[in-house]
Amino acid sequence: MSCERARHLFDAYWDDELTQAEREWLEAHFASCTPCHGAYEALARTLELVGGLPRFEVTSGFAERTLARARRAGAEPDRVSARAPRWIPVTAAAAAALLAVLGATVLQWGGMPRPGGRSPGSVVSETIRQPVLVGPAPVARSADAARGTSSTAGMGDGAVAVVPDSIFDHSEDVEFILDPFTLRKGRAHTRISSPQDAPRGQQATITF
């Protein structure tokens, strides 16, 4: 038991971290226990060899060469910080949402009349409602708006941008919706809604 305790103290004895009482106890143990004393001497010789290894020489001009290399590295973009920052998805989603709103606004305010549509002169007298961003968007919902039905009744929770429009006939339009809610990695693709969902117009959701 005392040998086990002694060997447990070897490292601290070498590192000079023992209390006075511990040191005195260990030295007294060494005096009476040749194996423990020999084991400690072997450890001490080993660590003397390790600690006595020569220091490597530094070649001349090391600091200047290092500075030159650091300058070159400093001029390059920092690969660590450039690696997929976490704010990118948030920014991308915000940008996509902004695009969706702007796109809807442009559709409403800047849409060109179609042949067979309503008279352009009526644009001035019409009160045009602003698009309302409601939530995640099933594809076919704005078909009602395209038909001129401004009510949102029965649309459920999923409509994106309701653009009631009584000015132009968009029955032949294809509406592109940038859908930020399904933003995820992968190839961009275009999905065209089924004819039942959009009997008079077509709607495409672009998901990234």
Partner 1 sequence: MTPDRESVPLAVVRLSDEDLMGKVAEEDERAFTELVRRFQGRVINLVSRILNDRDVSEDLAQEVFVRVYVHRRNYRRGSKFSTWLFTIAANLAKNEIRRRVRRRNWFSLDALQEVVGDSAIQLADPKEGQDVSLQRTQLQEAVGRAIAVVPEKYRIALVLRDIEGFAYEEIGQMLGIPGGTVRSRINRARGILKRKLQPLSRKEGL
**C-alpha span between 110 and 120 (Å, rounded):** 12
Indicate if the alpha-carbon torsion angle 176, 179, 180, 185 is positive or negative: negative
**Within a 10 A sphere around the Cβ of 205, how many other Cβ atoms?**
19
| Interface with partner 1 (CB under 8 A), residue from 47, 90, 92, 192 | 47
| DSSP structure class, residue 205 | E
Q: Which is nearer to partner 1, 40 or 168 (CB)?
A: 40
Rounded to 10°, the helix 20-32/34-51 angle is: 120
Which parts of 149-168 interact with partner 1 (CB under 8 A)? none
- Is residue 78 near partner 1 by the rule CB under 8 A? yes
- Is residue 24 near partner 1 by the rule CB under 8 A? no
Greatest alpha-carbon span in the chain: 114
- Is residue 16 near partner 1 by the rule CB under 8 A? no
- Is residue 82 near partner 1 by the rule CB under 8 A? no
- Is residue 186 near partner 1 by the rule CB under 8 A? no
Q: Which residues bind partner 1 (CB under 8 A)?
A: 11, 42-43, 45-51, 53-56, 58-59, 62-67, 69-71, 73-74, 78, 80
